[in-house]
Amino acid sequence: MVGLVIVSHSQKLAEGVRDLAAQMAAEVPIAVAGGTGDERIGTDANKIIAGIKEVYSEDGVLIIFDLGSAYLNAEMAIEFLEDEMKEKTEIIDVAFVEGTVMAAVLSSVGKKRQEMKEELKELCVGKMP
């Protein structure tokens, strides 16, 4: 099952989105990486790395982010992963709430990363360069 990491500038927002997605797909591994290490608004590459490791499996991980700098920290986090994990971890550009819920549902029915990415394209909002 593909794991999800929710990256937000707000820990509370990330937890809320995870809780919503879990209502639709409770069995999907979902980690949150919200806020900074000292609990301020912002993002933290170390939290993202920890989230990836928490939900990682051979099926891989998709990272969903809220705003631009969360994308930059997610990219940085991936660079610090071991090669095998790096190859199976991807950032996707989707509407934050709707994309997370849909990704959780797709993962719960056994879709592979590539299939999920294809189906999630309709929710792309152009946050990635």
Tell me, what's the pLDDT at 39? Answer: 87
Taking the CA atoms of residue 69, residue 66, residue 9 and residue 20 in that order, the dihedral angle to the nearest 10 degrees is -160
CATH number for the region 3-123 comes to 3.40.50.510
The beta strands (E) that lie in 72-112 are given as 89-92
Residues 78-94: pLDDT tens digits? 999 999 999 999 999 99
Amino acid, res. 59? D
Contact 5, 51 (CB under 8 A): yes
Sign of CA dihedral 60, 79, 120, 41: positive
Tell me, what's the pLDDT at 9? Answer: 97
Q: Which structure tokens are listed for 100? A: 């997370």
Farthest CA pair distance, the chain: 37
Residues 12-47: pLDDT tens digits? 999 999 999 999 999 999 999 999 988 899 999 999
Domain ranges of the chain: 3-123
- Which residue is catalytic, options 6, 9, 63, 101? 9
Residues 49-77: pLDDT tens digits? 999 999 999 999 999 999 988 999 999 99
Tell me, what's the pLDDT at 45? Answer: 97
125 as an active site residue: the answer is no
Tell me, what's the pLDDT at 50? Answer: 98
Tell me, what's the pLDDT at 88? Answer: 98
